[in-house]
Every structure is written in structure tokens, then in C-alpha cells.
Copies of this chain bind each other. A is one copy, B any other.
Amino acid sequence: MPVNSFDQYPLTWKPDKAALKRPYYRSLAADLEDKIRRGVLQAGTKLPPQREIADFLDLNYTTITRVYEACRKKGLIYGITGRGTFVSPHAEEDTTLVSETLRDDVIDLGAVNGYSEHSLLVERATEAVVRKGYLRHLYEYDCPAGYPHQLAAGVRWLEQVGVHTAAERTAVFSGAQNALTVALLSLFDPGDRIAVDPYTYSNFIELAKLMHLVLVPVKGDGAGMLPEELERQCRLNRVKGIYLMPAFANPTTVSIPLARRRELAAVIRDCGLILLEDDIGAWMAAAGGVTVPSLFDLLHGESLYICGMTKSLCPGLRIAFMTYGGRFRKQILHGLSNINIKTSSLDAEIITELILNGDAYRIAKEKRALAEKAGQLFAALFAGRCPRAAEPGYFRWLPLGTKKDPARVEGDLLRRGVRVYHSGRFAVQAGAAQDYLRVSLSSAGDFRHLQKGLERLRDYLEEI
């Protein structure tokens, strides 16, 4: 029975008592979902405690638990014991970083596609593949995981980024995102928890949402995720996996040094976590002569390592290699052959050609040089604002020294002719102390445009 008059304390979510239909929890969940999707309840809003809603509606409070549970499983809300339940970021709008066609005068510092300046060598490789005349073999249906010589090329490429593996534990996928899809579907069940950085790759967030996986943000510092925090979350939460970008993480640009990698590897081993290691920066470090041992190696190959070739070689050829521990082999191959059937042999063959003739290394070096040049440009313009003297990379992570709504900032900038993405798009939970902008250095088209775009951005930040 209601004890209080709830007219006085306004509940952020106040379901209509009269509209209650008999499967209570279902009708309540529908109402809550509707209000979130329509934007009546904004991201980050604290919902009333379960017991209050229950009191208000005169229901048992675990019935409200079911309501929150249903919405939590859909990724609409998340709860923190002792603190409350909150509306998820990304619940209403679609935060996917799809490249909607931009106005011609807008300079794109949003997308991180990688420089496409070097397609000449790729074109040549394509012609070489066609000339070789064994297309007819490639056009048959065979070897779902990739042809042996392609896998051998992949293994060779992996070696120079700090991963030692074998062709039998490696497969070809249609890009890193596809490899992630297969790994997540094959190894995880809905409701499983995966540890991630508090800011992480937005496509991974969306993918997890599509599969109803729960992301558990784990605090970190300038050297990446904190091992003790990870261990704590595992103890509390029955975490099953972890997603990491150990080199030049997207969007924070953090790279994990060897010492921290060892500590993290120890926790991952002890807690029995399935590690998805997304190599997005290792190739660029390698192109600069630096190879840090991968977590995959530190775990003696008992994890999954994804090596996308789109960023380092060519955005249009969708190829990634994934290598995995023996205990995952059966499930990954099963998933691969049911989700992809197989990957395009033609694309894989071109990438193979590039690795074998050495052009892949050349392209990577040139892309690194471009990134270095862009990084210097950025450093010159944002010396005071961006503390981290980051390595060369395709983007930067710029602290916003204002409390202005970051979504507004994004809109303002778009009107001024620059597209950037604000940190909310990458946040796993709402309510960060500090906002950021991710500034891409790789999609402006050329350096003149990049400079112009960065200047527009700087001018705007001076003003606010």
C-alpha cells in the first residue's frame, strides 16, 4: 500500500497507474522503453529506486526488478548497486558513426578511415592477382577459413606486430568488425558481461548492444586499464570476457606499456577471461620500428587477436586476420562457417599479394609518415590544450575545457564546417567528469583541408 503521497516528490519516471495492464512487468517495461526512445527520459537520468516505484504502484518490488531487468537486457538502462538505475547513453539516438554524406564545405574530422592516398600499390596488386590467372581457383567454393597461402601471409604479417601464431589457428574475415561479430556470437551468450575501457570503440558498443551483451566499464589511467579494478569487477560481476585495444586505443589514444600488459595478462588468466585483442595501432607502432609483445603472446596464445587490414592498407578491401587459442578453434570455425560461410577470396588474395611482395610494409610506413605529419600539425595548433604527447595515429583525444553540452558543441562545429565526434558517443556509461572530442586526422582529404579544419576547431574552442 502506498505510504507516501508521491505527488510531492516527483519521480523521474512515473508510470500511469490507470494504464496498467495485466502482465504488469511487460506493460511497465513497454512504457519505460517508449519514454526513453522518445527522449522523454534523457541519457543519464536517474530512475526512481525499484522500491519506490513498487510502493507507488502498490506492487511487489521485485516485479519492478523484472521491469528494470528487461530494459537492462535491451541496453536501455543500467543499474549500479547502492547508487541507482540510470538511462544508458546511446539508448535513444543512433550513435553509430555512419558517414552520412556531408555538406561539401564541411571538413571531416569525424570518421577515422585511414588515408586512402596509397591505393596505387593496391591497384597494382589487384592487377597482379588478375594476371596470375588463378582466379578460377579463387572463385570456387573452398577453405572457409582462407586458403593456406593467405593464412601464411597473415601469420607473417602478425609476426611483425608482436603476435606469434600458426596458420591452423588463424582465419580470414571480412574486416575487423566481422571478426568481432563472429567471435562474440560464437563465444558469448546474451547477458554475458564483457569488461571494456570506460570510453571505447563505438562500433563495439553497438555490436554488444545488438547481441545483448553487457559492457562493464573498468577504470584506467594513462597506461590503460587498471588491473586491480579489472580484478575487482570480475570478483563482483561474473565477467566473461574483455575487449582491449592495447595500442593507440580508440578513442583515447592510450597505449598499454609492457609492464601493464603483463599485469593485465595475469588478471585475465586468473579470472579466466576471454580476451578480444583488437589491434588497431600495433601496425603503426611496428611501422615505426616499435614492437611491444601482444597480450596474445603474453597469454601464450590462449586468447583472440584481431588484426584488421583496412586501416593499415586499404579501407575498401575488407580483410582482417583473426588468430585464436586452440580452445576456441572449434567454436570460431563453427561460427565462421555459419555467419560468413566464407570470406571473399579475391580481397584476401590481394592483401596476400601485398604482404608477400612487401608493398604492405611500404604502405604502412607511408601511412605512418602521413600520421606523423598530421600529428605535428595538430600539436602546433593545440599545444596548450592537449596534454598527451601521443604517438602518431589517425586521431587525437582533445579535452573540452567547458561544461557546455558536448552534443551542442558537435552541432556548433558542424555549422562552422567541421565534423568531430564528442566523447558521449564512446561512453559506456553516462556521467563523465570531463568531456572530450575525438579529432580525426585521417579523413579530411588532404593536408590543406586538415589544417583548415583544425583551425576552425581551434578558433571555436578559443571562443567558448
Residues of A bordering B, CB below 8 Å: 73-74, 94, 96, 98-99, 111, 113-114, 116, 119-120, 122-123, 126-127, 130, 135-136, 138-142, 144, 174-175, 177-178, 181, 185-186, 189-190, 203, 206-207, 210-212, 310, 314-318, 330, 333-335, 337-347, 350
**Pairwise interchain contact B316-A138, C-beta atoms closer than 8 A:** yes
**Pairwise interchain contact A206-B334, C-beta atoms closer than 8 A:** yes
**Pairwise interchain contact A340-B178, C-beta atoms closer than 8 A:** yes
Contact of A207 among B139, B317, B339 (CB under 8 A): B339
Cβ contacts under 8 Å, A120 to chain B: 136
Cβ contacts under 8 Å, A126 to chain B: 130, 135, 346
Residue of B whose beta carbon sits closest to that of A174: B174
CB distance from A428 to the nearest CB of B (A): 16
CB distance from A47 to the nearest CB of B (A): 21
**Pairwise interchain contact A113-B141, C-beta atoms closer than 8 A:** yes
Q: What are 29 sample pairs from A and B whose C-beta atoms fall under 8 A apart?
A: A73-B190, A94-B334, A96-B338, A98-B144, A98-B334, A116-B139, A116-B141, A122-B139, A123-B130, A126-B130, A126-B346, A127-B130, A139-B315, A139-B316, A174-B178, A174-B318, A175-B340, A175-B341, A177-B341, A178-B340, A178-B341, A185-B211, A190-B190, A316-B345, A316-B346, A318-B340, A318-B341, A318-B344, A344-B344
**Pairwise interchain contact A317-B337, C-beta atoms closer than 8 A:** no
A316-B344, A340-B178 given; A140·B116 CB < 8 A: yes
Residue of B whose beta carbon sits closest to that of A318: B344
How many angstroms between the C-alpha atoms of A206 and B96 in the bound complex? 28
CB distance from A232 to the nearest CB of B (A): 22
Cβ contacts under 8 Å, A334 to chain B: 94, 96, 98, 206
Most chain B beta-carbon contacts within 10 A, residue among A190, A317, A333, A344 = A344
Contact of A190 among B212, B315, B339 (CB under 8 A): B212
**Pairwise interchain contact B94-A141, C-beta atoms closer than 8 A:** no
How many angstroms between the C-alpha atoms of A190 and B212 in the bound complex? 8
CB distance from A264 to the nearest CB of B (A): 26
CB distance from A342 to the nearest CB of B (A): 7
Cβ contacts under 8 Å, A114 to chain B: 141
CB distance from A274 to the nearest CB of B (A): 16
Cβ contacts under 8 Å, A135 to chain B: 119, 122-123, 126
Cβ contacts under 8 Å, A181 to chain B: 181, 339
How many angstroms between the C-alpha atoms of A422 and B100 in the bound complex? 48
A206-B334, A338-B96, A339-B181 given; A136·B111 CB < 8 A: no
Cβ contacts under 8 Å, A113 to chain B: 140-141
**Pairwise interchain contact B210-A335, C-beta atoms closer than 8 A:** yes
Cβ contacts under 8 Å, A341 to chain B: 175, 177-178, 203, 310, 318
Cβ contacts under 8 Å, A177 to chain B: 338-341
CB distance from A7 to the nearest CB of B (A): 36
How many angstroms between the C-alpha atoms of A143 and B261 in the bound complex? 37
Contact of A189 among B98, B212, B317 (CB under 8 A): B212
CB distance from A134 to the nearest CB of B (A): 10
How many angstroms between the C-alpha atoms of A315 and B116 in the bound complex? 29
How many angstroms between the C-alpha atoms of A102 and B212 in the bound complex? 38
Cβ contacts under 8 Å, A212 to chain B: 189-190
Residue of B whose beta carbon sits closest to that of A139: B316
CB distance from A438 to the nearest CB of B (A): 17
How many angstroms between the C-alpha atoms of A457 and B136 in the bound complex? 30
**Pairwise interchain contact B174-A338, C-beta atoms closer than 8 A:** no
Contact of A337 among B98, B136, B345 (CB under 8 A): B98
How many angstroms between the C-alpha atoms of A371 and B344 in the bound complex? 25
Cβ contacts under 8 Å, A342 to chain B: 318
Q: Which 9 A-B pairs have the closest CB atoms?
A: A141-B315, A139-B316, A113-B141, A190-B190, A206-B338, A119-B139, A119-B136, A116-B140, A185-B210
CB distance from A142 to the nearest CB of B (A): 7
